[in-house]
Each structure stands twice: as C-alpha cells, then as structure tokens.
C-alpha cells in the first residue's frame, strides 16, 4: 500500500501516524511505501524557478541552499536573530512560489481565499479543480511514478491538520482522475474529528472509497483481509525517513506512548467533546519500543507526542539513559516537586517540557476542571529550571470562566515566575462545537462551513474576544516580552528545544 502525508505541516520531523500504519502493514505481510509529501512538496515549491521581483526575494533565492543547510545544522540555533532571518527568508521563498493573490502558504500554514477547508463542498471542489492547487506540479513530478509503481489497489491519505485539508483533497482528486484503478482511503486526526461530529453526513463518499475514524491500523488490516485477532501494538516504522531532509539539527522522530489523555477532564478540551478513549501500554513495554527505535534509527531527538506523558512513564524514563535527547508535553504532577526526579529526567535526555498551565488564577483552573494547583506549578517550574530543563508554558485566555481580573492574575503569575519560564504559548479560547459548555452559552459559527469544529460565543462575564486580544497584545506581551524568550517563528515548540541555555545562565 502507498501511504501519503500531504502538505502542509511543520517540515521539521516525519509524520508519526503513517509510521505506525506502515509498521502494522509490514508486520502482517503487506508491502508498504510511505511518502512524506509534506516535506517533499514544500521543498519542491521552495526550489522551484521563481522570478525574483524585489531585493528580498533575490537575496533569499540566491542563498536558498545555504539557508536549508544552516537550518539542518546546530550552529544557527545559538543565534536567535540569525535564525529568524533565515526562517523568514525561507518562508518568503515558499510564499512567492504561488499565486499570492489567492493562496497564502507559510512553513506552518495554508489557506485559499476562494475555498474553505471546513466546507465539504469546497473540499470536493478542490478535488475537482486539482490542477489549480499550488502543489499540482509536485503531484506530477514527485508522486505520479510512485502511484503508478504501487502494486496495491489502495492509496492512503493521512489528513491530521486543517492546513492539510484542501491540498489533501486536491491530491485525492488528482489520484481519482489519473488512476481509475486506485481506491482512496482517508484517515488521520482531522478526519476523525469530522466523523465524530453528531451531524456528520459522510459528504465525501463519491470521492473517498473508505474513511477511517480513530486509530487506523486495525481497520486497514481488516480491509486487506486480516482477521480481527491480529496484533494491535506496533513500533513505528521510520524506514521512509531520508537523511538530512527535514529542517532540524539532526534526526527528530516523533513517538507516542499513549492514545488520548489520561486526565481527560478539562472542560475546554476539544478531545473531551469527541469522547476519545484513553489507552496506554505498560511503561516497560514503551521503553522497550524506544530502545528498538534508538538501535534501529539512531535519532538525535525523540519528540513524545502524547497529549500528556503519563507520570508512570516519566518515572520509568527518569531511570533510563538514552543516546538521544527528548521532549514532550506533560501535566503539572506531584513528581516534579522532587528536585532529584527533575535532575534524573534531565540526565535521561530531557531537554524541554511543554506544560499546559492555561491560567494563573486558581478559581479559573478549578472551574476548568484542570486539576492544577498553582503552588505545585510554581515549585515545578523552579525545579525544572534548576535541573536545566527548558519550560514551554501554554496559556489559554478568554474561556467562559475567565474575566479581566483573572487574566491579570495570570499576568502576575508569569511575571513572578519569569526566571523559570523559557517560552510561552499564548492562545485565545475557541469553544468546541459539541462541548458541554456550549449548551449554556449563546453561540454562533466560528467558521462558516458544515465541518467547522468551533463556535463563537457571548462571554458570560463580558470578557469578549476583542478585549482578550487587546489584553494579550497591548498589556501581557508588553510586560513580559523582555523576560521571556522569543518563540521560533513558524516552528514554535518544535524548534524551541534546539536553543540551548545561554552559557553561564543559572
């Protein structure tokens, strides 16, 4: 089977989902080829013949290969200003490679001024008008031979992010029009979210032969004739990863130790609305899988992509010593109150932890059902900093539980802990369409489209979206910008981990 991961996602590491699907297929005797069309397609555009019309474009194109080379090395990550110059240059090359009046393309985003990615009719139109898609040239140059050479009747498309939707459907339309003998399977996180909607009507049945909701390994095997009793646990297959192709200093491999969230109680979380079941292997088994990946692929970094790495697995990790470094998302848990535990995590290879604080107001956290205690969060940040582990803290403004005073408490918490926070991610709350909280609020569509997953709402405390954005831009950022590191442009936390502590920093 041919598995394709379409553009656009951040081009700094391979996709994890298709790696698991590939492992499942191969272990059950089915040949499989994975194509990361995201990185290939983006490089195709970046390296395409573009007529430079201004000084910036001429300079960037002239240094195109040098920029790509630098972002794959470690040196540039020691100079924030030079890093950002290179990233903006690269992004500019990508943006000018397409019709800028219609398409907006960046290293982390894709949009079309004509078609909407949350409208099923527009997605089908993207499929029908695939020749208008900016990646059509790549379909022909980079994918045609691979589809022709595939002996399987199936081509799988993994659509995980909204940025992939329009390109993914254009790709599906291209396959359907050019390879009449091929059947298309479509799955991934975004498809699963759409299929979880209470009002989902299966609008793509005439284009897509099979849509898969949730984890795809078992449904794929059953489709190919394997009985339901087949093995359900697989170690990701990264044989498709080509050397030095991704924009990162070394080989970064994503790895998932669990599915869903072990907490799964936060009222604001969109996955809670989808009732996604949580599952995990024993920590010892997951460590065994990591050892296999270490021995087989020799990664420089492992990115733990769990919704939140479990305390049990963190404890197991703290006793291990790997040849690679790692980072991932965690909750504020009591284990971090032990300085020795934090130091052991650092020695195991942990370079950065992403932590969802959301608010610096305890009352808001309680109403969110976040399960976070601010005193514990304070001690955690201090202990991780002392251990030499970078902290990337996520804040969420504008929930129905927050007002202006609560937002200012968050600001004060951050200012009080600025010495222990390395990076911040500031987000404005989007109300999940089918969440329990949506039932008690006056709402309207966030995006116009039958596949939209979020709602706008009238804030019960008068803290509307416009006020929230004004607070973030004019007050919060102004007061903390000097003390918090600048987020890597476009790549955010995926590149933040590579900026090591400044020498001599306490």
275-314 per-position pLDDT tens digit: 556 777 788 889 999 999 999 999 999 999 999 999 999 9
Residue extents of the structural domains in the chain: 2-48+97-223, 252-496
**Taking the alpha carbons of 281, 285, 287, 288 in that order, is the dihedral positive or negative?**
negative
Which fold is adopted by the domain 2-48+97-223? Rossmann fold (3.40.50)
* pLDDT for residue 360 is more than 50: yes
DSSP H or E run through 423: strand 423-428
**Taking the alpha carbons of 316, 317, 319, 322 in that order, is the dihedral positive or negative?**
positive
What angle separates helix 80-95 from helix 37-46, to the nearest 10 degrees?
80
For the residues 256-285, what does the mean pLDDT come to?
Answer: 78
52 vs 15, more confident: 15
pLDDT computed for residue 263 by the predictor: 84
pLDDT computed for residue 282 by the predictor: 82
Confidence of residue 446 (pLDDT cuts 50, 70, 90): confident
Confidence of residue 506 (pLDDT cuts 50, 70, 90): very low
Please report the beta strands in 281-422, taking only residues with DSSP state E, as ranges in sequence order: 301-304, 325-330, 350-358, 390-397
Which residue, 321, 298, 291, is CA-closest to 251? 298
d(CA 278, CA 181) in angstroms, rounded, equals 38
Q: Where are the alpha helices (DSSP H) in 96-135?
A: 120-128
Which residue, 289, 336, 292, 281, is CA-closest to 314? 336
d(CA 222, CA 20) in angstroms, rounded, equals 16
pLDDT computed for residue 455 by the predictor: 92
3-state SS, residue 393: strand
* pLDDT for residue 104 is more than 50: yes
For the residues 463-467, what does the mean pLDDT come to?
Answer: 96
244 vs 466, more confident: 466
d(CA 385, CA 427) in angstroms, rounded, equals 23
Output the six-digit token pair for 125. Answer: 């139109």
* pLDDT for residue 440 is more than 90: no
pLDDT computed for residue 230 by the predictor: 63
* pLDDT for residue 315 is more than 50: yes
Confidence of residue 505 (pLDDT cuts 50, 70, 90): very low
Which fold is adopted by the domain 252-496? pyruvate-formate lyase- activating enzyme (3.80.30)
Which residue, 120, 87, 123, is CA-closest to 106? 87
pLDDT digits (tens, 9 = 90+) for 373-414: 999 999 999 999 999 999 999 999 999 999 999 999 999 999
* pLDDT for residue 228 is more than 90: no
471 vs 439, more confident: 471
pLDDT computed for residue 278 by the predictor: 72
d(CA 81, CA 492) in angstroms, rounded, equals 15
Q: Which of 29-43, 391-405, 442-456 is predicted least confidently?
A: 442-456
For the residues 455-464, what does the mean pLDDT come to?
Answer: 95
274 vs 119, more confident: 119
Which residue, 431, 17, 16, is CA-closest to 214? 17
Q: Are 114 and 124 in contact (CB under 8 A)?
A: no
Kindly state the DSSP code that residue 469 receives in the 8-state scheme. H
3-state SS, residue 9: coil
Confidence of residue 273 (pLDDT cuts 50, 70, 90): low
What angle separates helix 162-178 from helix 189-196, to the nearest 10 degrees?
100
* pLDDT for residue 271 is more than 80: no
Distances in Å between the alpha carbon of 313 and those of 5, 243, 328?
Answer: 29, 30, 12
Which residue, 486, 501, 65, 4, is CA-closest to 247? 65
Q: What pTM, to 2 d.p., does this model score?
A: 0.95
Q: Are 137 and 48 in contact (CB under 8 A)?
A: yes
Averaged confidence pLDDT in the chain? 94
pLDDT computed for residue 272 by the predictor: 60
Distances in Å between the alpha carbon of 504 and those of 83, 392, 475?
Answer: 21, 20, 31
Which residue, 104, 91, 216, is CA-closest to 163? 104
For the residues 240-256, what does the mean pLDDT come to?
Answer: 94
* pLDDT for residue 229 is more than 70: no
380, β-bridge pairs:
none
pLDDT computed for residue 237 by the predictor: 98
pLDDT digits (tens, 9 = 90+) for 115-154: 999 999 999 999 999 999 999 999 999 999 999 999 999 9
For the residues 195-212, what does the mean pLDDT come to?
Answer: 94
pLDDT computed for residue 270 by the predictor: 75
Which residue, 401, 435, 43, 451, is CA-closest to 247? 43
Share of the chain above pLDDT 90, in %: 86
* pLDDT for residue 220 is more than 80: yes
Q: Which of 168-172, 225-229, 273-277, 474-478 is predicted least confidently?
A: 273-277
pLDDT computed for residue 281 by the predictor: 78
């Amino acid at each position: 089977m041919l598995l394709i991961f379409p553009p656009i996602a951040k081009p700094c590491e391979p996709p994890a989902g298709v790696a698991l699907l590939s492992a499942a297929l191969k272990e059950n005797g089915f040949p499989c080829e994975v194509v990361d069309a995201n990185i290939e397609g983006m490089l195709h555009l970046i390296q395409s013949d573009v007529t430079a019309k201004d000084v910036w474009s001429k300079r960037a194109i002239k240094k195109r290969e040098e920029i790509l080379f630098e972002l794959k090395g470690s040196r540039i990550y020691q100079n924030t200003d030079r890093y950002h110059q290179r990233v903006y240059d690269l992004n500019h090359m990508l943006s000018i490679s397409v019709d800028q009046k219609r398409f907006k393309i960046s290293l982390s985003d894709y949009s079309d001024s004509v078609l909407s990615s949350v409208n099923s009719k527009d997605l089908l139109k993207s499929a029908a008008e695939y020749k208008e898609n900016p990646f059509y040239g790549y379909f022909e140059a980079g994918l045609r031979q691979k589809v022709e050479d595939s002996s399987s009747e199936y081509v799988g498309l993994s659509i995980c992010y909204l940025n992939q939707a329009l390109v993914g459907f254009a790709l599906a339309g291209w396959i359907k029009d050019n390879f009449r003998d091929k059947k298309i399977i479509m799955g991934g996180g975004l498809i699963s979210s759409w299929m979880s909607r209470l009002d989902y009507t299966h609008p793509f049945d005439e284009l897509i032969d099979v849509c898969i909701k949730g984890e795809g390994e078992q449904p794929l095997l059953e489709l190919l004739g394997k009985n339901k009793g087949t093995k359900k646990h697989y170690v990701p297959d990264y044989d498709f990863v080509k050397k030095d192709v991704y924009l990162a200093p070394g080989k970064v491999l994503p790895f998932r130790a669990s599915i869903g969230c072990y907490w799964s109680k936060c009222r604001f979380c969109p996955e809670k609305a989808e009732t996604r079941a949580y599952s995990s292997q024993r920590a010892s088994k997951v460590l065994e899988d990591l050892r296999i990946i270490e021995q087989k692929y020799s990664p420089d970094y492992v990115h733990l992509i769990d919704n939140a790495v479990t305390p049990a697995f963190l404890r197991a990790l703290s006793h291990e010593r790997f040849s690679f470094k790692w980072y991932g998302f965690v909750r504020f848990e009591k284990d971090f109150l032990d300085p020795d535990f934090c130091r052991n995590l650092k020695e195991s290879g942990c370079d950065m932890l992403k932590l969802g604080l959301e608010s610096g107001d305890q009352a808001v956290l309680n109403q969110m059902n976040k399960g976070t205690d601010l005193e514990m969060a304070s001690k955690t940040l201090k202990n991780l900093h002392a251990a030499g582990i970078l902290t990337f803290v996520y804040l969420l403004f504008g929930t129905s539980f927050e007002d202006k005073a609560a937002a200012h408490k968050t600001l004060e918490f951050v200012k009080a802990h600025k010495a222990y926070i390395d990076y911040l991610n500031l987000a404005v709350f989007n109300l999940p369409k089918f969440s329990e909280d949506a039932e008690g609020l006056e709402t309207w569509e966030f995006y116009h489209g039958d596949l939209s997953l979020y709602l706008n709402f009238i804030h019960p405390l008068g803290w509307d979206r416009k006020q929230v954005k004004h607070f973030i831009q004019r007050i919060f950022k102004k007061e903390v910008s000097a003390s918090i590191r600048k987020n890597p442009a476009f790549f955010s936390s995926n590149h933040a981990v590579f900026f090591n502590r400044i020498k001599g920093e306490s």
